[in-house]
Amino acid sequence: MPYQMKFQVDGNCHRNGQPDAIAAAAAILLRRYGPKKGWTRSLPASPPPTNQRAEITAIILALEQALARYPLLHTRPKMRVTIYSDSQYAVKCMTKWRYKWTGNGWRNTRGREVVNRDLLEQAAELDRQVRQLGRLKVRYEWIAREENWQADRLCRRDIERQILRS
């Protein structure tokens, strides 16, 4: 039976689309026993943060943690990484669209450069690295917002801290 790492991820942007937008990403490692482990990342002011950038950053955060944690496992087992997100955009980026985009030079159907290409390329590279560790599978699954409340709460706390500091 493969070792499983399951993450819930979320991204959020306060004042999305505004010049003073503040965004954060969160990833939670779900554990069968014991407390869950969580990480957050504040998004930089440039390029301007958005909800979509925050959602992709949350996936990056989970993939980074999977890469960091795998070497800590004693037996290097076959592993399955599952990342749950309430963002259909983020899930489709990682399961469908990125393959089309890499094949056509990161252009969308209108011939324009794909939005958030910088983050999507980073996420795709991390996904490749995780899969290369050996016998690893990575899945991205959409979940309802209500099921993702823990990652959402962690993300909102980070945004509140940023607002208080500004």
- For residues 86 and 17, give the distance between their C-alpha atoms in angstroms, rounded to a whole number: 20
- CATH number of the domain that 68 lies in? 3.30.420.10
pTM of the model: 0.95
* Mean pLDDT of the 94-110 span: 94
- pLDDT > 90: what percent of the chain? 80
Q: Number of structural domains, the chain?
A: 1
pLDDT at 82: 97
| 34-62 residue pLDDT tens | 778 999 999 999 999 999 999 999 999 99
First to last CA, the chain: 48
What residue numbers bound the domain in which 28 lies?
Answer: 3-165
| pLDDT for 134 | 65
